[in-house]
Chain A
Amino acid sequence: DTGVSQDPRHKITKRGQNVTFRCDPISEHNRLYWYRQTLGQGPEFLTYFQNEAQLEKSRLLSDRFSAERPKGSFSTLEIQRTEQGDSAMYLCASSPLKAGGGTEAFFGQGTRLTVV
């Protein structure tokens, strides 16, 4: 399978615990994006990388959230001291860097986080 892969698919954690999610993008894609989606809402942008550089981070993202893409390949999203409001689907997407703009993003199946 050469699509975007996310692991785990589901995660249940107790409030206050730390969780880490992994995303493996399509191999030749320079850009990687993280989103959060709750029921009935569109995906909410969290952050995006171009290669290993984190170029943008949502102002809505608290300090408990951190993302890395150490070698410009896979990425991890960590949530520290989880809260019930963090329960959501976390989506990863990747896209190639295209000169002149205009490119499509390919999404993974997401990681569903439930904080109890």
Chain B
Amino acid sequence: LAKTTQPISMDSYEGQEVNITCSHNNIATNDYITWYQQFPSQGPRFIIQGYKTKVTNEVASLFIPADRKSSTLSLPRVSLSDTAVYYCLVGDRAGANNLFFGTGTRLTVIP
């Protein structure tokens, strides 16, 4: 099982870029890296997923170095509505990538 480690919390001012790094030293060859966002009293919501290098969508970018032992979620120009908990997941077998959440990173955006 590839365990993930993230900072417990982060603060950022509105309009800044936020980078949240996740360590996954035991990532396996078939594992994908997935990030979810969760607001209070709601289920997690998928943000982005990648295998290697860089992935970008309308919400975020995901940077994965060549050794894949870490990944960085980048949120451009955050707003107050980005205040949430962000989870990094690494699948422990091909296809079943959504099993194990850690404690996540609580991001607080300050006006």
B side interface size, CB within 8 A: 25
CA distance A55 to B104 in the complex (A): 26
Determine which residue in B42, B45, B85, B96 has the highest number of CB atoms from chain A within 10 A of its CB, and name it: B96
The answer to whether A41 touches B94, judged by C-beta atoms less than 8 angstroms apart, is no
Q: Which of B41, B43, B94, B100 contacts A45 (CB 8 A)?
A: B100
Query: Does B49 touch A at the CB level, under 8 Å?
Result: yes
A93-B43, A109-B42, A109-B43 given; A104·B49 CB < 8 A: yes
- B residues within 8 A CB of A100? 94-95
Q: B-side binding surface: helix, strand, loop or mixed?
A: loop
- B residues within 8 A CB of A104? 34, 46, 49, 98
CA distance A56 to B34 in the complex (A): 20
The answer to whether B101 touches A44, judged by C-beta atoms less than 8 angstroms apart, is yes
CA distance A108 to B103 in the complex (A): 19
The contact sample of 29 A-B pairs, CB cut-off 8 A, is: A4-B43, A31-B96, A33-B98, A33-B99, A35-B101, A42-B85, A43-B101, A45-B101, A56-B96, A56-B99, A93-B43, A93-B44, A98-B95, A100-B95, A101-B94, A101-B97, A102-B51, A103-B49, A103-B95, A104-B34, A104-B46, A105-B44, A105-B46, A106-B46, A107-B43, A109-B42, A109-B43, A110-B41, A110-B42
> Which residues of A come within 8 Å of B, CB atoms?
4, 31, 33, 35, 41-45, 48, 55-56, 89, 91, 93, 95, 97-98, 100-110, 112
> Which residues of B come within 8 Å of A, CB atoms?
30, 32, 34, 41-46, 49, 51, 85, 87, 91, 94-104
